[in-house]
Chains A and B, each alone.
Chain A
Amino acid sequence: MKSSYQHIQTAHCENGVATGLLKYHGLDFMTEPLMFGIGSGIFYIHIPFLMVNGGPAVSYRSMPGWIFSRTSKALGIKVKRKKFSNEKDAYEYLNHQIEKGNPVGCQVGVFNLPYFPSEYRFHFNAHNIVVFGKENGHYLVSDPVMETFTTLTEADMEKVRFAKGPLAPKGHVYFPEHIKPVSKEQIQKAILKGIKRTSFEMLHLPGPIVGVSGINYTARQMRKWRDALGQRKAGLFMGQIVRMQEEIGTGGGGFRFIYAAFLEQAYEYIPNEKFLVLSDEFTKIGDMWREAAITMGRIFKGRLNEQKDFLQSADMLDEIAALEKAAFKALNKIK
């Protein structure tokens, strides 16, 4: 059994699955940047006191699943989601969908994902793939970070769908329902709504740890790391920031470039020159995130690091935060 799902490769897995599924159901205009922008994929949070893999807990993204849900809602589409308490029900449900020829999104853990490079196989549970068929006992899989289709055995599929730990997938399966044609007005409205929401979340959510002020918070912490944790640990912390920031799917620079591409595409729907100006601004900000990553990289390159490198990295983050604040304020004004 196999559906005619077309593989697409994207920068971020959730964008890829969501875009691919909507395209499969006939919404040909959908692109990764539109999905990401309308679904307000950009976010920032630094959770104090919490450690992830022995480093600081920072996230550059909105909650897993929200991009697809928000974009679908804005376009009048419903996303059907199902989680399971046992493996058997989850297995039967997935097989049933495949037999119906319905490609579905699956949330999986990457630790047991055999086709992933072993260096990337951490206990990270918010990865997304599309399962679109089954042949000779193997599931046919379209993973948006891979260049082509892959497959998974039944045993592997059960392992990755029932990975444990934070954000455990619990067999989570999802797909769009009741898809109607989408009008240009709907897309225009959705674009503006997505922009307003991202601006709100980055500028106005209360507290010092989220949005633009969260970036400042990370900068403040960073200045203290070397004295508080010692050279080695501080270096590892910095490495964790860079991995969270620039790794597959999550990102500082990467996300800003997708957002800049989104603004460029927004201009095609809403011809307001400001979108192009701000698209350039986000390209610039994205370049700065990457430069900050290079500066941070100097710290963990060798065992020996200097306080001035920590200070410089923190200053760069503050500078980025200031520019993002101005850019989101300007975006928020576009009607």
Chain B
Amino acid sequence: MKKEDIPQDQSALTGVTRDVCYVKDKDGKYTTDLSIGWQVKKQALDNAWEDIHERVKEALEKVRRNEVSPIVYFMELKLMDIPLLSSYTGFWRWTIKRHFKPSVFNTLSDKKLMIYAKAFDISINDLKNFKE
């Protein structure tokens, strides 16, 4: 890539930092320069977020219909999956799956809810009185 070809497209980086790019200067020697973003990368990232937002929305609707517990919603919101939630909480994967059931979730002790709240970086009240 030549120095003058560095893409400068607005992106999530704008205002926070810029990417270092290795490029050829006009004498054909390597040098570095900064890029504020590249359309192709931005599109890929936006795409990934669109998918995440959709999953969060789906989870929210399921919680509202009382099909799953709020744990599912917060897991999606915090970009986690069951294995990751398992390593943050120390619960077995199948235990977490059980906690996804509203009927089981409603019987959970404050101590267990606290562990989830800590993993999600929220208050225990957000889990107990779920309103979103």
Which residues of A are at the interface with B, using a C-beta cutoff of 8 A? 9-11, 33, 53-54, 111-112, 115-120, 122-123, 145-147, 164-165, 168, 235-236, 239-240, 242-243, 246-248, 253-254, 257-258, 260-261, 264-265, 279, 283, 286-287, 290, 293-294, 296-297, 300-301
Q: Are A260's CB and B45's CB within 8 A?
A: no
* Complexed CA–CA distance, A85 and B22 (Å): 39
Measured between beta carbons, the chain B residues less than 8 angstroms from A168 are: 87
User: B88 in the interface, Cβ–Cβ < 8 Å?
Assistant: yes
Size of the chain B interface, CB-CB below 8 angstroms: 34
Q: Are B29's CB and A236's CB within 8 A?
A: no
For residue B40, give the distance in angstroms from its CB to the closest CB of chain A. Answer: 4
Nearest first, the 10 closest Cβ-Cβ pairs linking A and B are A119-B12, A261-B30, A257-B22, A164-B87, A297-B40, A242-B44, A239-B47, A11-B20, A239-B44, A117-B12
Q: Are A242's CB and B21's CB within 8 A?
A: no
Q: Contact mask B87-99 → A, CB, 8 Å, 1/0?
A: 1100000000000
A264/B48 contact (C-beta < 8 A), A111-B79, A119-B12, A147-B17 known:
no
**What is the predominant secondary structure among interface residues of chain A facing chain B?**
helix
User: B104 in the interface, Cβ–Cβ < 8 Å?
Assistant: no
Q: Are B43's CB and A297's CB within 8 A?
A: yes
A117/B16 contact (C-beta < 8 A), A123-B79, A242-B40, A243-B48 known:
yes
Q: Which residue among A54, A119, A247 has the maximum number of chain B CB atoms within 10 Å of its CB?
A: A119
Measured between beta carbons, the chain B residues less than 8 angstroms from A147 are: 17-18, 34
Q: Which residue among B47, B79, B84 has the maximum number of chain A CB atoms within 10 Å of its CB?
A: B47
When the two chains form the complex, which single residue of B22, B24, B84 contacts A33, counting CB atoms closer than 8 Å?
Answer: B22
Q: Are A53's CB and B84's CB within 8 A?
A: no
* Complexed CA–CA distance, A112 and B39 (Å): 26
Q: Are A300's CB and B1's CB within 8 A?
A: no
A300/B43 contact (C-beta < 8 A), A11-B22, A146-B17, A287-B1 known:
yes
User: B13 in the interface, Cβ–Cβ < 8 Å?
Assistant: yes
Q: Are A243's CB and B88's CB within 8 A?
A: no
User: B112 in the interface, Cβ–Cβ < 8 Å?
Assistant: no
When the two chains form the complex, which single residue of A145, A287, A301 contacts B43, counting CB atoms closer than 8 Å?
Answer: A301
Q: Are B44's CB and A297's CB within 8 A?
A: yes
Q: Contact mask B108-121 → A, CB, 8 Å, 1/0?
A: 00000000000001
Q: Are B22's CB and A235's CB within 8 A?
A: no
* Complexed CA–CA distance, A243 and B41 (Å): 6
Q: Are B1's CB and A253's CB within 8 A?
A: yes
A165/B1 contact (C-beta < 8 A), A120-B12, A242-B41 known:
no
